[in-house]
Amino acid sequence: MSRTTATVAASLPDHWEQLVTTALLGTDRRTPPGVAPGPQAPSDLLDAAAAATVRRRAGLCPARPAERLRPAPEDPRPPLPPAAARRLAALLADRPGASGGGRRGAAPDLMELLPQWLQAANARGYAAPPQALPALLDAARGRTDLRPAALRFAGPRALWLARLNPDWRFALRAAPGGGPSARGLRDPQGIRRLWQEGLFAERVTLLTALRSRDAAAARALLEETWATERAEDRLMFLDSLRAGLAPDDETFLERALADRSRNVRETAAELLSALPASALAARMAARAAACVAMDRTRDVPTIVVEAPHECDAAMERDGVVAKAPAGRGERSWWLGQLVEAAPLGTWPGRLGGRTPEEIVALPVADGWQGELHAAWCRAAVRQRDAAWSRALLGEPSAPEAGGPGAVSLAERARLLAALDAGERAAWVAGFIETHGLSEAFQLLGVCAVPWAPPLGRAVVDALNIARDAGSYPWSFSGVMGLAERCLDPSEASRLDALLAIPDEPEDAAPGAGSYWSEAFQRLVTTLRLRGAMLAELTPGEPAP
């Protein structure tokens, strides 16, 4: 260090911030203390900064050593077979391309097969390869629909990784093991501390996990802080009671009917109406029964309806919304809510001991049939009543395509969910055979995978008919995509005859034949790939 530098360093206090400020403003506007103004000032400033840097580095105290990172936990599950591990790597490496109508080419969409692969791997209890965990977490981060299966397959090591990367922190909230462990759920103090101090997502996870293990304890925990929770949080917490809903929840839910939030009151009333023996269900049954009766004076027994003339305070407390939506009459609006919330067991006794099928077949006077049947539809969905769902759906070949109560495709899909998988598939197959595929997409979405043989045959036959008719092919791309994921892989060999480019009718869409050929080629290729995937996960079984 030069003599000038030493002099400056000795005379200039080590105020780093002052030096930085002077350097930014310039020595013409500010001169550091101990430095004479003039042409030498910039050089003196740099000398001072150099000396200060040395002092700062020399005076740096060593930091305390960080705690050594604990090794990742062991995953006790068996490893994947080598072929299945290679398949997983290929599925995770694939990037989703354009989707929707107009997807061309015969190559399968691998990312759309990943959910099924994960489901099959989880069913067999395999552990994820450690090297695949980062890609699995990235895939789950980008697609929320993948998270439950991906995180279950990824196992405890994924949670260990997620704590090290902020981009993967979602796994700590979403994974079954990201919340309290089974051991933690036995620690009352730990549960209470997490409930009182945890983030909202952690509290929801805790409540959900505890609810599945000890419903009464979860409800008691919620009751402790209920009065101090925010309205939006109360709504989410209340919704967690749907799992394991039981008569023991009635007292708490009755108190929630007086909540400050209308949304909370409505949710509490909905949950109570799903308990047929609850006091609210009895009150709604009495109100609904007073509005619906049997007129036996006519030539044909007929249901008559007298809708409510007012919505009183007691009805509002029980969840009836007084203000009707635009375009709806108030009385019909109130009637629908009463019938929807009344136990379906009310009606056979009220309407002459008839079965649900017989009740649905009765005429309804004065144009009230649509409103009454639609409310029964909502009740059947809420109460998951298979007998009423079956009656309201009617025969799949009916001209009204779903029965008098099924006012929309979405409503039919919800009614189908109350039936067992075999009956559901048979009903949708009959619907497709009569009405084709144009309205079947939502109905297919509620059917179990792989589709039962009658349903698979109905879908393939309808696609073949549409192809031979020269139908506009892109309108069937959604159903074709479902078929790729849902048809039984054993159907692949039966589809080989559909791979040729068909002769196009004169009125066919341009290029339709080529599109149909590519679509069926992609379908066959995907089915065979799915079969190979399952075989790889079950060594010793040949691919179908």
Q: Is the peptide bond before 71 cis (omega within 30 degrees of 0)?
A: no
CB atoms within 10 A of CB 7: 14
Q: What is the pLDDT of residue 494?
A: 81
Give the C-alpha separation, 231 to 520, whole Å: 52
Dihedral pair phi/psi, residue 305, rounded to 5° = -125, 135
In DSSP terms, 305 is beta-bridged to: 292
Contact between 113 and 139 (Cβ < 8 Å): no
Q: What is the pLDDT of residue 183?
A: 46
CB contact at 8 A, 493 and 528: no
Residue pair 533/525 in contact (Cβ under 8 Å)? The answer is no
Rounded distance between C-alpha atoms, residue 543 and residue 489, angstroms: 9
The alpha-carbon radius of gyration of the chain (Å, integer) is: 34
pLDDT at 65: 75
Backbone phi, then psi, for 295, in 5-degree steps? -100, 105
Q: How far is CA 8 from the centre of its chain?
A: 68
> Half-sphere exposure of 126 toward its Cβ, with a 13 Å CA cutoff?
22
Helix axes 421-435, 453-468, angle to 10 degrees: 20
- Per-residue model confidence as pLDDT tens for the chain (544 residues): 444 444 444 444 457 778 888 888 788 788 777 677 888 888 888 888 888 888 777 776 777 777 788 888 899 999 999 999 999 999 998 755 434 444 556 678 888 899 999 999 999 999 999 999 999 999 999 888 898 899 999 998 998 999 899 899 888 765 544 444 444 456 788 888 888 888 787 788 888 888 888 889 899 999 999 999 999 999 999 988 988 899 999 999 999 999 999 999 999 999 999 999 999 999 999 999 999 999 989 989 999 999 999 999 999 999 999 999 999 999 999 999 999 999 999 999 999 999 999 999 999 999 999 999 999 999 999 999 999 999 999 999 876 644 444 457 888 899 999 999 999 999 999 999 998 888 888 899 999 989 999 999 999 999 888 888 777 767 788 898 899 999 999 888 888 777 776 666 666 666 677 788 888 889 999 999 999 999 999 876 554 5
Is 247 in contact with 316 (CB distance < 8 Å)? no
What does the alpha-carbon distance between residue 445 and residue 479 come to, in Å, rounded to a whole number?
10
How many alpha carbons lie under 13 Å from residue 12 in its C-beta half-sphere?
30
Total Cβ atoms within 10 A of residue 112: 16
Name the token pair of 486.
């849902």
Q: Distance between CA atoms of 47 and 45, rounded to whole angstroms?
A: 5
Q: Quote the CA–CA distance of 75 and 89 in Å, as a whole number.
A: 19
Q: Comparing C-alpha atoms, which of 436, 439, 496, 499 is closest to residue 463?
A: 436
Q: What is the DSSP letter of 309?
A: S
Rounded CA separation 463/459 (Å): 6
pLDDT at 510: 67
Alpha-carbon separation of residue 494 from 461, 527, 532 (angstroms): 11, 11, 17
